[in-house]
Amino acid sequence: MSEIQKDALCDHVASQFGLNPTLRFNPIAGRVKVAMEDIGTKKDMYSVKLTETIVIDGFNPRIKDEKYWEGIRALAASMEKHGWYPDKPLAGYAIKKDGKDVIVVVEGGRRRDAGLMYIEKMSKTDKDFADKWLAPMVTKKMGTSELDLQYGLAQGNNTEPFRPYELAILCKRLYVVFDQTEKQIVEGMQGLVSASHLPKLLLLASAPLEIVEAVESGSMSVTESYDLMMAHGDKAVEVLKQAALVSKAAGAKKIMKKHMPGVKFAKALVKESRPLFEMAEEIQADEGYQALSEGTRAKLDDMLREIKAMQTKFAEDDAKILQAARDAEAEAAGQTSLDMAGADNDENLGAQQVA
């Protein structure tokens, strides 16, 4: 599959979850004070009317499914009981939109949704509640770029970390839209994504729907999905379906490598590799070997040559390691002898001084 096909697949599958991996809204910086005049008041931080805040559709890669809204309902209940914690403000970014300075919420999307849910409930009995119940907001400093906002999304969502596919979409956006290298993404994520895990997330972002659903449901890990796609390519979905049946029959909670077709045979083959190798050597040494076709003999000769070269290399490596260990042991023993000789000299010198 070409990179163009992968990107097209990525966009199609992501859209099934309401996500946009290639979103770029190209903001024109606006004036914070002007933008805040209509929606907020200034104290130590801004206090804003939540119903008048706006978001950029698709900017936050949260999947708004039932699992998401379950968390939002719990958060709204907490707000009703305790209010909005002032140390958990929204983060806003001033942009020009339709010729007007406006504030876009760039961090705190879950809190915003929970707050709006709470306002909707309270407004049924108090029509002015939305104007009275204000939310805390801090604003991004001037000079903040759209790329900074993308990385800020990851850093600002540590309270409720992104799900694997959500994080994969954000990484894909950074990689494709903002032309970030893998090294830059790992550094920008500041510990949220490792260098070894990033390629797995990038591949997940381009995965077929069935594989994404398996990861999102918790039936399969990101690593297992990566190994599946790397091993089986365009047959990955078919293999996944077979593995899911085997996993279910075994009463397992997750689809793992051991449930994939052919894995048991591969393990058995590894166990039998030594007898097979020895048998191949016997066949090569047999007087009837020349009766085999030239092509068959060439294949067997090449295979045995490669295996024996590998065997020789490993033996040489083992010998070097063993010799290095012996040298280190001898050096340590020699140093111990010197230390003991030095101690004897010190003892004799001390005896002379006492005398």
Over 277-302, what HEC string results? HHHHHHHHHCCCHHHCCHHHHHHHHH
Q: What is the pLDDT of residue 76?
A: 97
CA distances from 70 to 77, 110, 153, 161, 190 (A): 11, 11, 21, 15, 29
Contacts of residue 228, defined as CB under 8 A and 6 or more positions apart, other chains included, come to: 211, 220, 236, 239, 240, 243, 260
Q: What is the pLDDT of residue 336?
A: 66
What is the C-alpha radius of gyration for the chain, rounded to an integer number of angstroms?
Answer: 32
Q: What is the pLDDT of residue 355?
A: 43
Structure token digits, residue 292: 């085999």
Q: What is the pLDDT along the chain (355 residues), one digit of tens a residue?
A: 555 545 555 667 888 887 888 777 666 665 656 566 555 555 547 899 999 999 999 999 999 999 999 999 999 999 999 999 988 999 999 888 888 888 899 999 999 999 999 999 999 999 999 999 999 999 988 888 999 999 998 888 777 889 999 999 999 999 999 999 999 999 999 889 999 999 999 999 999 999 999 999 999 999 999 999 999 999 999 999 999 998 888 899 999 888 887 777 667 667 767 777 788 888 888 888 888 898 988 988 888 888 888 888 888 888 888 888 888 888 888 776 666 666 555 555 454 444 4
Q: What is the pLDDT of residue 190?
A: 84
Burial label, 71 (beta-carbon count in 10 A; 0-12, 13-18, 19+): middle
Distance of alpha carbon 352 from alpha carbon 198, whole angstroms: 70
Please check whether residue 94 is in contact with residue 139, taking contact to mean a CB–CB distance below 8 angstroms. Answer: yes
Q: What is the pLDDT of residue 217?
A: 93
